[in-house]
Structure 1
Amino acid sequence: MMDNIVASEEWCKLEELGIPAVKARVDSGAKTSSLQATKIKIFSKGLEEWVRFEVNPIQDNRSISILCQAKLVGLRTVKSSQGIAEERPVIKTLVTIGNQDFDIEVTLANRDTMEYRMLLGREALNERFLVDPSKSFLMGDISEDEIEVLYKPYMRKKDGLTIGLLASNPNLYSNKRIVEAGQARGHEVVFLNVESAYMKLDAVAPQVRYRGGNVLDKMDAVIPRIKPSVTFYGCALLRQFHTLGVYCLNSADAISKSRDKLYASQVFSKNDIHIPVTGFAKSPQDTKDLIRMVDGAPLIIKLLESTQGRGVVLAETNKAAESVINAFKSVQTNILVQEFIKEANGQDIRCFVVNGKVVASMQRQAQKGEFRANIHQGGKASLIKITPEERKLAIKSAKALNLDVAGVDLIRSNRGPLLLEVNSSPGLEGIENATGLDIANIMIETIERKLKYKAV
């Protein structure tokens, strides 16, 4: 009887596809079985339609990739657990569970978020097995050492990962350092100009292509360093890479949130992250109350699209503030009005957060006559030891926007540290020079850990 009872998860062998072992979730609530697949392509073989696809059979390990092909049974509309319907190719293949072999129909699902690489639905279970959801691997477990032996023939021959650096200027200090750091760790780092990449949107075989028609189908990871003027297109490319199963060091959604200063400020408020008192209004009729709301002049006026300190103005009197605010509104420009922290004396702190940890911090001092520190405009940077409260604030701020890499700017006030803003493409030059730390190397190490990469 035990031969007919399976657990909530079991190891399967798909011999006809060349897959020696894949962990499957047993789900009698799902009608069909599915297999996580990428780079799905339907093609003709004689008078028959076949489908070619790649499978990463071990969860969170893209270094093992198996190219498969099978006769196409048809296309089936399947609704996900989130209620999203999608059309998937269907194949028939032999599956081995324990000592039992039988044919099943499997849909190919291009969804890397699947917890298991394979799902066994009730069509595969009916009249064959009973399910004991409280148990695991009743048909036999496979150890990590055994998996390593089974997949040794499929291990990649190359020594490192292929990493795309999605940016605009290969000569910037930060971009050159990232390329150097990746190469020093044995990886191939390819510079990808945002505006030279383009997409093929297709449910069966989506692609990212690059200048001249080159298909970018070998990327393991992408590091986005997208300048503000190409945020919309750069984020569209990142979503496409994610669809293809490529790990992105900062997601499109996180970058979009960080670039919308009003939305980001609302996220911070919701998550009990303290910022200088900030106001936003559309109508010029509300200007006077807007100024009073942030305790009057002097106050800061920020363009929503500002970056690296540009588009930030100090209004020293209420009259000057009214003039500047109404001038911006007259040309349909969105701005934030923010409390000025006098006691900061032109200093702020940049914390560099990577994967939920502050890996470096520096203090920036404004140039004489300036109200805000900016090393791009003559400000000075120096090493600083931050407080536990500042460290906690920096980590919480990056997490609130779901950023793996972030430059978090803080300011010291009489009521404790306050968050100024979070940058999703922070520069490396100032902080590497001020701290002497190899931040670029830390970023590459993070990608290795995310992809569970081990150097050969």
Structure 2
Amino acid sequence: MGLSGYLIEKYNNMAGAYTCNRLVEEAKRLGIDLRIIGIHDTNVTADGIFNCGQLLGKRDFVINRYKWGKLKDRINELGERSYNDIHSFNRYINKYQQLRDIKSLDFLVPKYVLGTALLPYEEVVRKVGTPFVAKGLESSMGEQISLVESPEDYRRLLDTYGPEKELLFEEYISTSYGRDMRIFSLRGEVIAGMIRKSQGDFRANVALGASVEPLEITDSIRLLARDIYLCSSVEFVGIDLLFGEDKPYFCEINVMPGLEGIEESSGKNIAGMIMETIKGDFEDEQTGS
């Protein structure tokens, strides 16, 4: 019997979603039965896990591409392996946890404060400078990220998020305005990289319309990717770096990175590399290597 897996996404029907459809396409090429399981089409009872009324059975592996809630954790119990491993996935969704755990001599870490918008503005400025960047801890695609340039901007955070939401307040790296680096790493090996450039926005997310171009991969970039893997154990990861004067600054890692921009800019079949790696794990297991 061939290899089979679940790909956890938002909905069963992900028409037009580049990354998950590329993974399914490459799985099919390799003879792998990869089924998309939408969290919003799934429920759990004492009798099991149901997707659109159908009881889900065991499969060889699970690919995690949805951040929120407990349903994804329960679905992971149906797979012999998970990619990225659900424990690392859950831990490193959180941007504060990344800053706390991930270290390398080949990048700098921005000054930061973890707190809520009830912190006095002057206290945040004293610790990270002005302007500064405010980030939601589990946001993606440029959402919940804003540049705070005044007390009025800061007060808007409280109006938007309320007094309970924890935020990261980070030093603003002006040398990286409107541009950053995205590296795709597979088990600590750099597969591809790109420079993302925005027009008129300090954020450089492809989801917000940034353009992409290839990035030259240096020995320093290879070393920091290795360090990030050793710190996090995240196997398939997007690494975002900001341009500094001497060294790059660590921005964040993405445990469910999109593939469209990186495949476009590099010309590489990254979805295929992911699926080939997964297939190889099970082949190695069967041969005892």
Q: TM-score, normalised by structure 1?
A: 0.57
Aligned to 1:236: 74
The 2-side partners of 1:165 and 1:343 are apart by: 38
Does 2:95 correspond to 1:264?
A: no
The 1-side partners of 2:106 and 2:157 are apart by: 28
Distance 1:448 1:330, change over 3 A: closer
The 1-side partners of 2:262 and 2:211 are apart by: 11
When the two chains are superposed, the root-mean-square deviation of aligned CA atoms in Å is 2.7
The 2-side partners of 1:281 and 1:247 are apart by: 35
The 1-side partners of 2:104 and 2:214 are apart by: 31
The 1-side partners of 2:105 and 2:48 are apart by: 37
Given that 2:179 and 2:198 are in contact with CA atoms closer than 8 Å, whether structure 1 keeps it comes out as yes
Matched ranges for 1:376-395 at <5 A: 376-395=207-226
Does 2:136 correspond to 1:303?
A: yes
**Residue 147 (structure 2) aligned to one of 304, 314, 322:** 314
Instruction: String of CA shifts for 1:316-336, please: whole Å, max 9, x gaps.
Output: 34x345434554574422211
Aligned to 2:190: 358
Aligned to 1:164: 6
Distance 1:283 1:370, change over 3 A: closer
Runs ≥4 residues deviating over 6 A: 270-273
Distance 1:280 1:449, change over 3 A: same
How many residue pairs are counted as aligned between the two chains?
A: 283
The 2-side partners of 1:283 and 1:173 are apart by: 36
Given that 1:389 and 1:417 are in contact with CA atoms closer than 8 Å, whether structure 2 keeps it comes out as no
Aligned to 1:447: 278
Query: Any idea what SS the aligned residue of 1:305 has?
Result: coil
Which range moved further: 324-333 or 436-445?
324-333
Matched ranges for 1:343-422 at <5 A: 343-367=175-199, 369-422=200-253
How far has the Cα of 1:387 moved from its partner?
Answer: 2.0
Given that 1:364 and 1:374 are in contact with CA atoms closer than 8 Å, whether structure 2 keeps it comes out as yes
The 2-side partners of 1:299 and 1:256 are apart by: 27
For structure 2, the residue ranges without an aligned partner over 5 or more in a row are: none
**Residue 323 (structure 1) aligned to one of 146, 155, 177:** 155
- Flag the structure with higher strand content: 1
**Residue 185 (structure 1) aligned to one of 26, 30, 35:** 30
For structure 1, the residue ranges without an aligned partner over 5 or more in a row are: 1-157
Given that 1:254 and 1:402 are in contact with CA atoms closer than 8 Å, whether structure 2 keeps it comes out as yes
Aligned to 2:61: 221
- Flag the structure with higher helix content: 2
Query: Any idea what SS the aligned residue of 2:115 has?
Result: coil
Distance 1:232 1:215, change over 3 A: closer
Q: TM-score, normalised by structure 2?
A: 0.87
How far has the Cα of 1:207 moved from its partner?
Answer: 5.6
State the structure with more CA Rg: 1
Query: Any idea what SS the aligned residue of 1:284 has?
Result: coil
Query: Any idea what SS the aligned residue of 2:164 has?
Result: coil
Amino acid at match of 1:310: E
State the percentage of identical aligned residues: 25
Instruction: String of CA shifts for 1:219-277, please: whole Å, max 9, x gaps.
Output: 11111111x4x344313322x235xxx11111221111122222222112699963211
Distance 1:376 1:283, change over 3 A: closer
Distance 1:173 1:282, change over 3 A: closer
